[in-house]
Amino acid sequence: MRTAHAFGSRSRDNNDTWNNFHWRISSPSTKDFELCYAVRFLERNNRGGSDAWSLRQVGVYQRICSSTNVASWIILQFSQLIKNALADKLKVVSADDAVRAQRHSLLHLAVLGASIRNWDEYIDYQTTELFKMERKAQYADLDEYSAFDYQVAFADRQKVQIQRSKLITARAVIESSIVLGQRMQSLYKNERLLSVEMSDAILLEFDDYIHEVTYYKGILLDLIERSNETASLLSNILDYRTSKSTLSIAQQGELEGKLAQKDSINIKALTVVATLYLPASLLAGIFSSNLVQARPADYNDGPTRFVVARDFWKFIVVLVPMVVGTFAVVGIFQRFSKRSHEHDLEKAGTGEEDLEKHGSLRDYLGYLRGLLKKKK
């Protein structure tokens, strides 16, 4: 039942790679034999792109009647790959009477052999994809960017991680296949289910299967190790470029700060100069107008004296309200800015503990304003 449940509906891939291998003598009197397992393998899905391979599984159940040596088979998700392998093996079995007696074990070997038929192609595919990422990581220029350089992005790091996850799943499938071959070989060897004539040949085929799958496992372990190193190198490259960009931005900000400081000093100097010349400008404006006139003391060429015009009081009357109005506008603007800042602080929210500490919202705002003045 557990083997059958593994083929239930699902909405996503899982990493369950257990082979569900079970066997038993169903009846002590008749010694009928039952065997079931699930074999998983990789197959092209014809979707193309970066996800060209999918994990498939086939469930196998066999019941052998010991008296007649007739077997009943149930195969779940009978793939075309397994179907072709069994068809070819049945042709070989039917041609020889000695082989026909051992057809049950040979058919299981056909299923196992078909399940690893695509591993060479799959490993070549993963090796090629990993090699592309390795070249990016090994030959990308850290400091200079050009049209001929490898463009390293965070998407490359994600791609390597996805490939690493697939390789780990493939390794689990391989390990499950190794255990399945070992347990099946042990079953046929210890339970004496093989004839003397064919025993050595069939057990040798199990050995060949186990050694081949073990070889694929070694290659996958090497690919996983290479993917770990590539992912680490890509991460280091991205971290280096990010830190360098941050440093460049900080240096640029520091340079802009120095320029702003120089501009502030220049503006301050100009303000001081303008302030020093302001009284002189005022006097020049007054003496250049008709409010103050230079006349000789006598109507001859005697000494000159300054005479204030009769309407000078009008200038005073106009000047004083303008000065008062200017200071009033500046004061209103400052008060508006202050209230706007207090409103922003109030909108940002205050904690209940702070309100209790300072008594009221107004007192708390006064406390914040005091902190701002200290910082300045």
Averaged pLDDT, 61-72: 83
Flag whether pLDDT at 285 surpasses 80: no
Please classify residue 335 by burial: count the beta carbons closer than 10 Å to its beta carbon, then call 0-12 exposed, 13-18 middle and 19+ buried. Answer: exposed
Give the per-residue pLDDT at 47. 73
The pLDDT score that the predictor gives to residue 37 is: 92
Residues 6 or more apart from 303 whose CB is under 8 A from it?
Answer: 296, 297
Asked whether residue 55 carries a pLDDT value surpassing 60, the answer given is: yes
Q: Average pLDDT over the chain, rounded to whole?
A: 80
Q: pLDDT value at position 219?
A: 95
120-151 burial, b for 16+ CB within 10 Å, e for fewer?
A: eebbeebeebbeebbebbeebeeeeeeeeeee
The whole-angstrom separation of Cα 285 and Cα 125 is 89
Running DSSP on this structure, what letter comes out for residue 76? E
* pLDDT value at residue 226: 94
Q: Return the percentage of the chain with pLDDT > 90, whole number.
A: 22
pLDDT (0 to 100) of residue 364: 52
CA pair distance 146, 128, nearest whole angstrom: 25
CB 62 within 8 A of CB 36: yes
Choose the most confident range, by mean pLDDT, from 45-59, 147-161, 231-245, 345-359. 231-245
pLDDT exceeds cutoff 50 at 126: yes
- Find the largest Cα–Cα distance for the chain: 159
The pLDDT value recorded for residue 145 is: 60
Rounded to an integer, what distance in angstroms lies between the CA atom of residue 20 and that of residue 138? 43
pLDDT at residue 365 above 90? no
Of 245 and 155, the one with more pLDDT: 155
Q: Residue 23's pLDDT is what?
A: 84
Closest C-alpha to 79, from 119, 50, 39: 39
242 pLDDT higher than 50:
yes
Q: What is the pLDDT of residue 227?
A: 93
Sign of the torsion formed by the C-alpha atoms of 40, 41, 44 and 49: positive
Tens-place pLDDT, residues 13-53: 555 667 788 888 877 676 788 889 999 988 888 776 667 88
Q: What is the model's pTM?
A: 0.64
Q: Is the dihedral of CA 164, 169, 172, 173 positive or negative?
A: negative
Quote the pLDDT of residue 358: 47
Res 355: pLDDT: 47
Question: Looking at residues 46-73, what average pLDDT do you find?
Answer: 82
d(CA 128, CA 126): 5
pLDDT, residue 213, reads 95
pLDDT tens digits along 291-334? 777 666 665 566 666 677 777 777 788 888 888 888 888 889 88
For the chain, the domains span 2-251, 289-375
Structure tokens at 122: 């799959």
The fraction of the chain above a pLDDT of 70, given in percent, is: 78
Of 155-169, 277-291, 316-330, the poorest mean pLDDT is in: 277-291
Strand residue runs (E) in 21-135: 22-25, 33-44, 53-65, 70-76
Higher-pLDDT residue of 133 and 303 is 133
For the sheet with 53-65, list strands across it: 22-25, 33-44, 53-65, 70-76
As a whole number, mean pLDDT of residues 219-238 equals 92
